[in-house]
Amino acid sequence: MTIANIDAAWIDAALTAACPQAMAALLRYFRDLDTAEEAFQDACLRALKAWPKNGPPRDPTAWLILVGRNAALDGVRKQSKSAPLPPEELISDLEDAEAALVDRLDGEHYRDDVLRLLFICCHPDLPATQQVAVALRIVSGLSVKQIARAFLVGESAMEQRITRAKARIGAADVPFGAPNAEEREQRLTAVAAMVYLVFNEGYSAGGKELRTRGSLCDEAIRLARLLLRLFPSEPEIMGLTALLLLQHARAPARFDAEGAVVLLEDQDRSLWNGRMIAEGLALIDKAVRHRRPGPYLVQAAIAAEHDRAERAEDTSWTRIDLLYGDLEQLAPSPVVTLNRAVAVSKVAGPQAALAMIEPLAPKLSGYFHFFGLKGGLLLQLGRREEARVAFDQAIALANTAAEAAHIRLHLDRLMKEGAG
Amino acid sequence: MLYAILCYNFEDVVGAWTAAEDALVMARLGVVEAGLAAAGRLGAVGRLLPTTAAVTLRKGREALVIDGPFAETKEQLLGFYVVDCGDLDAAIDVARELAVANPARGAYEIRPLAVYRPGHLSEARAKRSPRVLGVKA
């Protein structure tokens, strides 16, 4: 690889890294998503030409904001010659302006901008898929093509989805003022949930889709780290970042060469990413000091219990059961209880776990994992016919081919044993 | 004379490397390290986890633990080498070699060491996770 190649890679990485902050600042200035997006893209194009020639600027983000702003203002002036010219300070010599801007952009100024941008993406009027799509488009700067590939839909369908979402955001009364402390807290919760959604889009992908969708996991981790830098003392953001790292660390072992699911207990743990695990554990360590455990932190602690076990049989299911108990209190949901039942089956046996999940049936009648676990527990208890019914229901509800294939393995085994 | 070579770089950019890019840079730095080690000039080497994993203890009448790195800077301290060099020029040469192996932006700060204790920690220790106990309040 030549130096020039590295430079191209560096510019690419720098543009990606600057995207949330630059987009956020441009959005505050123009108060219009499309204009801000065009301005940022324009600035990126100019960076690709200018940086290799002149060397990269001292602060790439500030450069992009300023150049993007000027380019967009230029466009506006060309479109309406009668409009008054923008204030001179905004289009004056780049060098001076950059220095001034860098001072203004230092430190905390980015914080509310980026938070506002992320919050706009998780506007409550938007369905979750649109939130994620818009966030990836606007905050991560992924192309429509990349996002469409990740969601396994056509490019034009994704374009439509994003356009609709933007129109809805445009029609809604989006607050552009700096958020107060209470709003900030509400927004942070919504934003954390959206980052988690982005991650899950990638995480729930099957083996064959992993290459395209797995990058969504990386993107979510990048966003979580960004949030953590903006809010360095929020234990739940530490917990969220840790959770994503600890789950994604296992990605290289989650599917076999054919793309079939490899269960946690069967995974080759030497394939797990040790650096991600170390980072996740360090973040939990930091968060625990705050003594304000929230749902993300507890989930991260559960993931940590798995990641720390060198062999599957070293897993402390007792501690996992206790942690799920905490989670049930902090964020009660039938899915949490279902997950706890897995730990209970290891600690107290399948009968206890089955008794625990049976009351969940009405709420989880459309949930793949409910029937998967139920089938597994019934099988352990030797109730084969009931197990087969549960597995059939699971297959009907599977979200990915890999999920269905995994249950089919159980069924095949049942059939064979039944015949033999 | 022992010199510390402190590696500063844009954490955002380094963090956005793919696993393959990261491995490539590490392999090229590894070649420089191996050369120094073969000459008996290489001391401790460390790569730091992201600054988001850091806490800072502020000294004072009552020490205060703050989440995050010591200073919010544009480029962050991401790693270090300890190298035995005849003089400053030789240390700068080592930094130049490192810069060729990892030619992204950033900087190497070269600081002579006043005290050096090699310690006895094995590499495996870095892989040992911190104990994570119950998260209950």
**Strands (DSSP E) along chain B, which ranges?**
2-9, 42-47, 55-58, 64-67, 76-84, 107-112
- Name which of A3, A282, A326 is nearest B103 (Cβ-Cβ): A3
Q: Is the pLDDT of residue A6 over 80?
A: no
Give chain B positions within 8 Å (CB) of A110. Answer: none
Distance CA B71, CA A286 (A): 18
Distances, alpha carbon A343 to alpha carbons A71, A394, A410, B91, in Å:
57, 20, 20, 55
Find the CB nearest B53 among A222, A283, A326: A283
Q: Which of A75-79, A404-408, B54-58, B89-93 has the lowest mean pLDDT?
A: A75-79
- Per-residue buried b or exposed e for A322-341, using 16+ beta carbons within 10 Å of the residue's own CB: bbbbbbeeeeeebebbbbbb
- Does residue A88 have a pLDDT over 50? no
Rounded Cα distance between A236 and A196, Å, is 12
Per-residue pLDDT tens for A273-326?
999 999 999 999 999 999 999 999 999 999 999 999 999 999 999 999 999 999
Q: What pLDDT sits at residue A89?
A: 43
What local confidence, expressed as pLDDT, does residue A5 receive? 53
From A58, A81, A106, give the residue that closes a domain.
Answer: A106
Residues in A touching B104 (Cβ below 8 Å): 6, 9-10
Of B49, B65, B133, the CB nearest to A279: B49
Q: What is the pLDDT of residue B76?
A: 92
Count of C-beta atoms within a 10 Å radius of residue A83? 10
Among A242, A132, A264, smallest CA distance to A198 is for A132
Report how many domains make up chain A.
Answer: 3
pLDDT tens for residues A222-265? 889 988 988 899 999 999 999 999 999 999 999 888 888 888 99
Whether residues A244 and A297 share a domain: the answer is yes
* Residue of chain A whose Cα is closest to the Cα of B128: A278
Nearest CB to A288; choose among B52, B53, B135 = B135
Residue A206 binned pLDDT confidence (cut-offs 50, 70, 90): low
Range of the domain at A280: 233-315
Pick from B17, B48, B67, B98 the residue to mutate for testing the A interface (most A CBs within 10 Å). B67
Confidence of residue A62 (pLDDT cuts 50, 70, 90): confident
Radius of gyration, alpha carbons of chain B? 17
* Nearest-neighbour CA in chain A from B5: distance (Å): 22
| B132 lies within 8 A of chain A by CB | yes
- Same-domain status, A202 and A259: no
Listed in sequence order, the residues at least 6 apart from A48 whose beta carbon sits closer than 8 Å to its beta carbon are: A11
Mean pLDDT score, A188-202: 86
Same domain, A79 and A152: no
Tell me the ipTM for this assembly. Answer: 0.86
> How many other C-beta atoms are found inside a 10 Å radius of the C-beta of residue A144?
19
Residues 6+ apart with CB under 8 A from A374: A354, A357, A390
* Interchain CB distance below 8 Å, B127 and A278: yes
From chain A, pick out residues whose CB is under 8 angstroms from the CB of B127.
Answer: 274, 278
Asked if B132 and A285 count as a contact pair (C-beta separation under 8 A), the reply is yes
A278 contacts in B (CB within 8 Å)?
49, 126-127, 129
Record the pTM.
0.84
- A157 shares a domain with A65: no
Res A93: pLDDT: 44
Report if residue A409 sits inside a domain.
Answer: no
Q: Which residues of B touch A289 (CB under 8 A)?
A: 55, 65
Q: How distant is the Cα of A293 from the closest Cα of chain B, in angstroms?
A: 6
- Select from A65, A84, A106 the last residue of a domain: A106
Q: How many pairs of residues across A and B have Cβ atoms under 8 Å apart?
A: 98
With a cut of 80, say whether residue A151 has pLDDT above it.
no
A121 & A97 share domain: no
Contact A288 B127 (CB under 8 A): no
Q: Which residue has the tokens 């798995």?
A: A306
> In the predicted model, what is the mean pLDDT of residues A100-110?
53
**Whether B128 contacts chain A with CB within 8 A:** no
CA A52 to chain B, closest CA, distance in angstroms equals 12
pLDDT at A177 over 90: no
Name the residue among A350, A358, A303 with its Cα closest to residue A327: A303
- What pLDDT is attached to residue A214? 64
User: In this complex, is the C-beta atom of A271 within 8 Å of any C-beta atom belonging to chain B?
Assistant: no
Q: Could you tell me the pLDDT band of residue A402, with boundaries at 50, 70 and 90? A: confident
In a domain, A404, yes or no: no
CA closest to A320 among chain B residues: B134
- Is the pLDDT assigned to residue A352 strictly greater than 50? yes
Beta-carbon separation of B24 and A1 below 8 A: yes
Q: Does position A382 have pLDDT exceeding 50, yes or no?
A: yes
- According to DSSP, the β-strands at B2-9 and B76-84 are antiparallel
Structure tokens at B49: 């986890």
User: pLDDT grade, residue A331 (50/70/90)?
Assistant: very high
Cα-atom radius of gyration of chain A, to the nearest Å? 25
pLDDT at position A153 = 80
- What's the pLDDT at A20? 86
Given this model, what pLDDT does residue B137 score?
A: 41
In a domain, A175, yes or no: yes
Answer whether residue A133 is part of any domain: yes
The pLDDT confidence band at residue A2, using thresholds 50, 70 and 90, is very low
> What ranges do the domains of chain B cover?
12-48+82-127
Rounded to an integer, the average pLDDT of A90-100 is 48
Say which range, A168-182, A293-307, A404-418, has the weakest mean pLDDT.
Answer: A168-182
Section A8-15 average pLDDT: 82
Q: Which residue has the higher pLDDT, A150 or B1?
A: B1
Question: B71-95 burial, b if ≥16 CB within 10 A, otherwise e?
Answer: eeeebbbbebbbbbbeeeeebeebb
Same domain, A67 and A125: no
Q: Which of residues 323-342 of A touch B (CB under 8 A)?
A: 323, 326
* Residue ending a domain, choose from A106, A123, A152: A106
* Mean pLDDT score across all residues of chain A: 84
What is the rounded end-to-end Cα distance, in angstroms, of chain B?
50
Share above pLDDT 90 across residues of chain A, in percent, rounded to a whole number: 41
- Residue A244 inside a domain? The answer is yes
| Per-residue pLDDT tens digits for A110-148 | 677 777 888 888 877 788 788 888 888 888 888 888 788
Return per-residue pLDDT of chain B as tens, 137 residues. 999 999 999 888 888 787 888 899 999 999 999 999 999 999 999 999 999 999 999 998 889 999 999 987 778 999 999 999 999 999 999 999 999 999 878 899 999 999 999 888 888 887 766 665 555 54
Q: Please tell me whether residues A249 and A269 are part of one structural domain.
A: yes
More confidently predicted of A311 and A5: A311
Say if residue A205 is in the same domain as residue A237.
no
Q: What is the pLDDT of residue B89?
A: 95
pLDDT at A100: 54
**Is A115 in the same domain as A209?**
yes
